[in-house]
A = this chain, B = another copy of it.
Amino acid sequence: MDQQIIDLGQKVAALEAASTMANTINMEIFYWWCTALMITIHAGFLAYEMGASRAKNVLASAIKNLLAFAFVCPTFFFFGWWIYNAFPGGLTIADGASAALPWSMSMGPNLSDNATGVFWAAFALFAATTASILSGAVIERIRLTAFLVLAVILGSVIWILAAAWGWHPSGWLTTKFGFHDAAAAGCVHLIAGAFTLGVLLNLGPRLGKYNADGTPNALKAHSVPLTVVGLMLIIVGFFGFLGGCIIYNPGGQWTNIFGQPATLSSFAFNTLMGFAGGIIGGWVKTRDPFWMMSCGLVGIISVASGLDVWYPPLAFLIGTFTGIVVPMIANFIEKKGIDDAVGAVAVHGCGGAIGVLVVGVFAAGYPNVNGAPPVTFFGQLVGFVVMSLLGFVPGYAISAVMKAMGTLRVPRDVEIMGLDLVEVPIEAYPENIGRPAAETLVPTGDFGSATAVPAE
């Protein structure tokens, strides 16, 4: 009988070991697929930005978009991941952050670490997505090198510092204010929108965007079908993004990324309901399929902070409301002389702000475990203010320096001819619309005033 117990003990130990390993592998797989689907976001952004450009700038937009991804990856390896691990306490370096330094044992193939690589990859894709939010707004006139510097600062420094503060179990916004932002409406969308606004104020509108009296012209997307299919691919990829916002705890219930219990099922309910609401809101307001898809995305962003807590019909209403409001904000921004080519400030900045604040309105009092205070409107407001400033100030300041140095914008004649003709050795559509017709080459607006129109 002793022998029986010993045998049983060995079997149990073997089971425990196998079970632990199996759980680890399944966790690794989960984030692998999150990463894979997030590449779809970039296929979507690529289609979307090319479609949203005029024919003369299509390929220059593609180059910019691809390089944002390509430069964010290594910089996020060298310092982005470390920033997330180092600064949850504010600006003092946390213990254990050294494991995220690029020469650490965890930052490469390691048979005893089935986690760091896939976590890093998912975060690198979050970073690339954040940088891509800036990308669409500034097409058709930003200088490539200026854009790349801005993209790396946004994608590998700014947003990830915000994530350390408010999207981390030890982040001070979480532990001191109970800040609740389950799916990154704050540290990804709001911050990218605020940064983009700062850049746009210095970058100025595209030539021909505004008339002498300040009224705007539409500089039309050359292929709306390419744009809306791209947006739907972004939605596909968002399921990878949202999956990456939830922590697989082997053998236990999910927690959201700042350590509060959650389920993937709640994400499923609210993502679809917010998305549906956003499309309908966009349709009610605009009847424009570009805005309907943008507002579908807005719908998801607007419910993202509380994706783990909303009653689904409320998510539908929040999405619908935000889908109606955001095109109005975009219109307001355009009238103020700020030329945001794809509405990124309204979609991501304002959509993200609503996402963060609405948790303070409808989910105030929601309790937190691990000693964090419960959700409050004040806590959400603090998070909103911090992220707005953390996005806007560097975006404005750095682009102001670039503007002063004359390195922010392409030369006027390049912009008129089209960036593709000057920067790209091939044509987008050589058998057809590669050479824009005369009326698209010469915008209808007042050229002289283009950079002179005060933004705001």
A109 at interface by CB-CB < 8 Å: yes
Tell me the complex Cα distance, A254–B32, Å: 14
Tell me the complex Cα distance, A63–B265, Å: 29
B43 touches A233 (CB 8 A): yes
The size of the chain A interface, using a CB distance under 8 A, is 138
Identify which of B23, B35, B225, B261 contacts A22 (C-beta below 8 A).
B23
A32 touches B239 (CB 8 A): yes
A30 touches B28 (CB 8 A): no
Tell me the complex Cα distance, A177–B442, Å: 65
A93 at interface by CB-CB < 8 Å: no
Given A229-B47, A431-B436, the answer on whether A110 and B265 have CB atoms closer than 8 Å is yes
Identify which of B109, B222, B275 contacts A269 (C-beta below 8 A).
B109
Q: Mark A335-377, 1 if CB is under 8 A from B, else 0.
A: 0000000000000000000000000000000000000000000
Which B residues are CB-close (under 8 A) to A263? 28, 109-111, 113-114, 117
Q: Mark A243-256, 1 if CB is under 8 A from B, else 0.
A: 10000101111100
Q: Mark A1-23, 1 if CB is under 8 A from B, else 0.
A: 11011001101100111110111
Tell me the complex Cα distance, A40–B39, Å: 12
Among the stretches A71-79, A83-91, A206-214, the one at the interface with B is A71-79
A312 at interface by CB-CB < 8 Å: yes
Identify which of B39, B117, B261, B437 contacts A266 (C-beta below 8 A).
B117
B431 touches A118 (CB 8 A): no
Identify which of B55, B118, B266 contacts A109 (C-beta below 8 A).
B266
Among the stretches A167-175, A279-287, A383-391, A443-451, the one at the interface with B is A279-287
Q: Which chain B residue has the least Cβ–Cβ distance from A40?
A: B236
| Of listed A23, A109, A432, residue having the most chain B CB within 10 A | A109
B58 touches A225 (CB 8 A): yes
A59 at interface by CB-CB < 8 Å: yes
A251 touches B18 (CB 8 A): yes
Q: Mark A121-152, 1 if CB is under 8 A from B, else 0.
A: 10010000000000000000000000000000
Tell me the complex Cα distance, A12–B235, Å: 43
Tell me the complex Cα distance, A2–B225, Å: 72
| Interface positions of A from 53 to 99, Cβ below 8 Å from B | 54-55, 58-59, 62-63, 66-67, 69-74, 77-78
Among the stretches A189-197, A402-410, A419-427, the one at the interface with B is A419-427
B42 touches A232 (CB 8 A): yes
| Of listed A271, A276, A286, residue having the most chain B CB within 10 A | A276
A228 at interface by CB-CB < 8 Å: yes
B50 touches A225 (CB 8 A): yes
**A66-B283, A107-B269 given; 7 more Cβ-contact pairs under 8 Å:** A28-B263, A70-B283, A71-B280, A74-B313, A77-B273, A121-B272, A124-B272
